[in-house]
Amino acid sequence: MSTDRYTSPLSERYSSKEMQYIFSQDMKFKTWRKLWIALAEIEKELGLNITDEQIEELKAHQDDINYDVARAREKEVRHDVMSHVYAYGQQCPKAAGIIHLGATSCYVGDNTDIIIMTEALKLVRKKLLNVISCLAKFADEYKDLPTLGFTHFQPAQPTTVGKRASLWLQDFTIDLEDLDYVLDNMKLLGSKGTTGTQASFLELFDGDLTKVDKLDPMLADKMGFKGCMAVSGQTYSRKIDMKVVNVLAGIASSATKMAQDIRLLQHLKEVEEPHEAKQIGSSAMAYKRNPMRSERICSLSRYVIVDTLNPAITEISQWFERTLDDSANKRLSIAEGFLAIDGILDLCMNVTDGLVVYPKVIEKRLMSELPFMATENIMMDAVKLGGNRQELHEKIRELSMIAGDHVKKDGLDNDLLDMIVKDPAFHMTEDKIKECLDPGKYTGCSAHQVERFLAEVVNPILDANKEELGLTAEINV
């Protein structure tokens, strides 16, 4: 690895080899050649004077790209597509004259972009499904474990560890729904010519509209797509890039929500992300166990969310049938958005597959706050024993303030219930009070909701995608 020049952290530290290949030069230029072969085959089938021998010559050199020739040529002509047309022609002298026939640069450039984004979305989908699978197992395992709920990060009515995880899980299932919609509607640009009018192809086919109309459906079929866009300028609408990157940003926002919750829970020592045996938390504070994976999820997600501005601004900046101010931006924003979300999902898989739960800590914190939450039940029971609801409410308010001071000012345990037992207004024994301290009385339908959500929403998704499951994520530095 070169150490004397900038290298992208997205490739060096964060993204997988699979995603890096999708955005590699090999993937790009091999796809260009596949598209040139498909075009030649279609034109031959529609009656142009192209021979089987020429097509076979093109196929023979589909994957052995002569990069040195293409790079040398681009230095001369300053045009990437024509440089690769020239390089391909050097390898295929018999077919050199029919390469790129009737096409403009966006025939290979834009169609390849759609193909690459489609393949990248498929990999994102696979990893997203595995995150969903890991979270589903976690939610099911801990659906009955009561834990203190929080609103405004202040103690609130108890929930369960699994119920909280189901909130993360639901966000990811919404992302999957959005991803599937975009993926199912991906279409190629097709063979549209310089301004989208197909004028060059109409000329090639001597004005035969029937043959021109067959071009795009035949191309879509050969390249494995449902269809091509009905109309375009020279390029496909950059709104497609907006839709794709917005899906990535949606996943990033879900990942951040989960990771931020885990960071807070790790601070509370209730739930912890995986920690390797020799992992160092701090160069100075050797005792530390930092939530570095969850922090990295949040950091990379911020990048992806901000990246949505790139295709949005590019879309509104396109003049008429095309301008070239999209090109450099697209090379960066689309590729790096996918490389970043790939790293995020690998981290999410790793974290959700190895979350550590500390039930004793969870129970201790819950029981320290439960007396305050039990007061409504205590008040109802005291009324049944002959008490006055309004007087009891005021008593509980006064005693709660005193107990709160004992906890916050004096550092003592919560003694609210002890004071209630001693107060004759409540007519309640210690045993009766203890009955009100069963955490299960306060988690409502949490476990049932988790079971229903898994049964009705998550498990059908996982059952329909069994072949995609079982991935493990290797985390880099």
Angle at the Cα of 122 (from 120 to 124), degrees rounded to 5?
A: 70
Annotated active-site residue 16? The verdict is: no
Query: Which long-range contacts does 451-457 make (Cβ < 8 Å, 24+ apart)?
Result: 451/140, 451/143, 453/139, 453/166, 453/169, 453/170, 454/136, 454/139, 454/140, 454/166, 457/170, 457/173
C-alpha distances out from residue 274 to 40, 251, 278, 346, Å: 53, 21, 12, 13
Q: Taking Cα atoms as reference points, which of 137, 124, 160 lies closest to residue 255?
A: 124
Cβ-contact 245, 310 below 8 angstroms? yes
Neighbours of 332 (CB within 10 A): 12
Annotated active-site residue 254? The verdict is: no
The string of DSSP letters for 258-291 reads: HHHHHHHHHHTTSEE----TT--S-SS-TT----
Give the CA-trace dihedral at 430, 150, 396, 363, to 10 degrees.
10
- The total number of residues shown for the chain amounts to 477
Hey, what are 74's tokens?
Answer: 């681009």
Euclidean distance between CA atoms 357 and 142, whole angstroms: 9
Euclidean distance between CA atoms 419 and 421, whole angstroms: 5
The string of DSSP letters for 432-450 reads: HHHHTT-GGGSSTTHHHHH
Q: Which of 79, 282, 327, 448 is catalytic?
A: 282
SS (H, E, C) 21-76: HHCCHHHHHHHHHHHHHHHHHHHHHCCCCCCHHHHHHHHHCCCCCCHHHHHHHHHH
Is residue 344 within a helix (H) or strand (E), and if so which, with residue range? Answer: helix 327-353
At position 20, the amino acid (one-letter code) is Q
Q: Which of 2, 152, 267, 283 is catalytic?
A: 152
The β-bridge relationship of strands 146-151 and 154-160 is antiparallel
Euclidean distance between CA atoms 313 and 459, whole angstroms: 39
The string of DSSP letters for 379-421 reads: HHHHHHTT--HHHHHHHHHHHHHHHHHHHHTT-----HHHHHH
Euclidean distance between CA atoms 140 and 458, whole angstroms: 11
Q: Taking Cα atoms as reference points, which of 6, 216, 5, 4 lies closest to residue 110?
A: 216
Q: Give me the active site residues, please.
A: 152, 282
